[in-house]
């Protein structure tokens, strides 16, 4: 990969990588760190990216995802990445901005549900693209997305009710 | 994209926006690429503590061993020891005189 190629790839994908990292980690500083690590890893080993295996965006998202999950595991070694039984209750909205509540709800999702929701809802990626970026089976992505949305509906029920729809919290 | 049959949820989720990548990221990524020569001159590598301790212990052991080698006085050359205990004189001495061919001249 030549220098202009790298710079072009960086400018084309830095925002999506940073946004994803920011939403996944909830920290601008951590997002900046992992985005830097991700692009420098590509610079050091450009052969790791095989165009025949998918788009560069999916490759970079997969790489930054690994870096984020590595940090997450180091911080919480005994917590599972995916808790199928996790059911989140409605959030208490007292004294909190709506956007802040949404951010908190997304961050409360188990990591694998969170990444599926972020990539689908915010980056508007297809199931196939998410599957390619996360290296997961299509069915697994679908299931995580379904559970993630279900959990979000429960957590954000108070906000959704004010929007005109009522959701059960059972 | 996976069809989301809940536009209300989507609308609420979109209320959370994150900032764009900061300008400092450009400097960190584009300025963070270094040539091998520059890396050799200014680079740093992380070494796990056990590996670092093992390398340090090996270096200390090697330097102590070398210092001992240098501090030791040079070994004296081995002198042959003569022992005449088993010496047996020959029983009959046969003396043979060999004259030089020039002796008669």
Domain ranges of chain B: 46-70
**Residue A85: both structure tokens together:** 């039984």
Q: Name every chain A residue with its beta carbon within 8 A of the beta carbon of B15.
A: 98-99, 102
Note whether B105 contacts A: Cβ–Cβ < 8 A.
no
- ipTM for the predicted complex comes to 0.76
Residue A42 near residue A49, CB atoms below 8 Å? yes
**Alpha carbon of A91 to those of A30, A66, A95: distances in Å?**
25, 29, 12
Mutation to test the B interface, candidates A2, A20, A34, A40, most B Cβ within 10 Å: A40
Q: Return the CATH fold of A1-79.
A: Rna Polymerase Sigma Factor; Chain: A (1.10.1740)
Tell me which chain B residues have a C-beta less than 8 angstroms from the C-beta of A19.
18, 21
User: Which of A22, A117, A160 lies nearest to residue B12, judging by beta carbons?
Assistant: A160
Residue A144: count of CB within 10 angstroms of its CB: 25
> Distance from B55 to chain A by nearest Cα, in Å?
26
- Exposure string over B38-59, b if 16+ CB within 10 A, otherwise e: eeeeeeeeeeeeeeeeeeeeee
- A residues 14..53 contacting B (CB < 8 A): 14-15, 18-19, 22-23, 28, 32, 35-36, 39-40, 43
At A105, is the pLDDT very low, low, confident or very high (cuts 50, 70, 90)? Answer: very high
Place of tokens 């951010």: A103
Residues with Cβ within 8 Å of residue B79, at least 6 apart in sequence: none
* A118-132, A154-168, B77-91: least confident range: A154-168
How much is the pLDDT for B80? 76
Q: Are A130 and A119 in contact (CB under 8 A)?
A: yes
| A126-159 per-position pLDDT tens digit | 999 999 999 999 999 999 999 999 999 999 988 8
Nearest-by-Cβ selection for A35 from B2, B25, B33:
B25
Structure confidence at residue A169 (pLDDT): 42
Query: How many angstroms away from the CA of A143 is the closest CA of chain B?
Result: 11
pLDDT range class, residue A96, cuts 50, 70, 90? low
Could you write out the DSSP letters of every residue in A124-152?
Answer: ---HHHHHHHHT--HHHHHHHHHHHHHHH
CA pair distance A38, A66, nearest whole angstrom? 9
Separation CA A64–CA A39 (nearest Å):
9
Over range A57-80, report the average pLDDT: 87
B45 or A169, higher pLDDT? B45
Which token pair is B50? 């056990």
Judge whether A19 and B18 are in contact, CB under 8 Å: yes
pLDDT of res. A170? 41
- Read off the pLDDT of residues A11-36 as tens digits, 9 standing for 90 and up: 999 999 999 999 999 899 999 999 99
Among partner residues B12, B25, B30, which is closest to A102 by beta-carbon distance? Answer: B12
**pLDDT above 90: residue B2:** no
B62 CB burial (10 A radius; 0-12, 13-18, 19+): exposed
Decide if B20 and A7 are in contact by the 8 Å CB cutoff: no
Q: Name the residue among B6, B19, B28 with its Cβ closest to that of A28.
A: B19
Is residue A51 within 8 Å of residue A60, measured between CB atoms? no
Tokens coding A53: 């295996």
Sequence spans of domains, chain A: 1-79, 82-170
Residue A28 to residue A133: CA distance in whole angstroms: 22
- For the domain bounded by A82-170, which CATH number is listed? 1.10.10.10
């Amino acid at each position: 990969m030549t220098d202009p190629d790298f710079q072009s790839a960086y400018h084309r994908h830095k925002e999506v990588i940073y946004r994803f990292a920011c939403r996944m980690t909830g920290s601008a500083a951590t997002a900046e760190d992992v985005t830097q690590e991700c692009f420098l890893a590509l610079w050091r080993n450009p052969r790791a990216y095989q165009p025949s295996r998918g788009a560069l965006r999916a490759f970079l998202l997969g790489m930054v995802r690994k870096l984020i999950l590595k940090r997450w595991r180091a911080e919480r070694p005994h917590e599972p990445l995916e808790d199928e039984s996790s059911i989140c209750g409605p959030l208490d909205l007292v004294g909190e901005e709506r956007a802040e509540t949404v951010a908190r709800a997304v961050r409360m999702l188990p990591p694998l549900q969170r990444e599926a929701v972020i990539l689908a809802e915010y980056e508007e990626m297809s199931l196939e693209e998410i599957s390619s970026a996360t290296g997961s089976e299509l069915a697994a992505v679908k299931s995580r997305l379904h559970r993630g949305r279900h959990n979000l509906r429960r957590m954000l029920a108070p906000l959704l009710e004010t929007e005109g729809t009522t959701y059960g919290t059972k | 994209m996976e069809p989301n049959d809940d536009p209300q949820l989507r609308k609420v989720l979109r209320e959370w926006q994150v900032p764009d990548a900061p300008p400092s990221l450009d400097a960190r990524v584009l300025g963070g690429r270094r040539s091998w020569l520059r890396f050799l001159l200014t680079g740093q590598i992380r070494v796990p503590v056990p590996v670092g301790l093992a390398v340090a212990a090996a270096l200390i052991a090697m330097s102590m061993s070398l210092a001992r080698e240098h501090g030791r006085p040079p070994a004296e050359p081995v002198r042959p020891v003569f022992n005449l205990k088993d010496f047996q004189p020959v029983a009959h001495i046969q003396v043979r005189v060999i004259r030089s061919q020039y002796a008669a001249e």
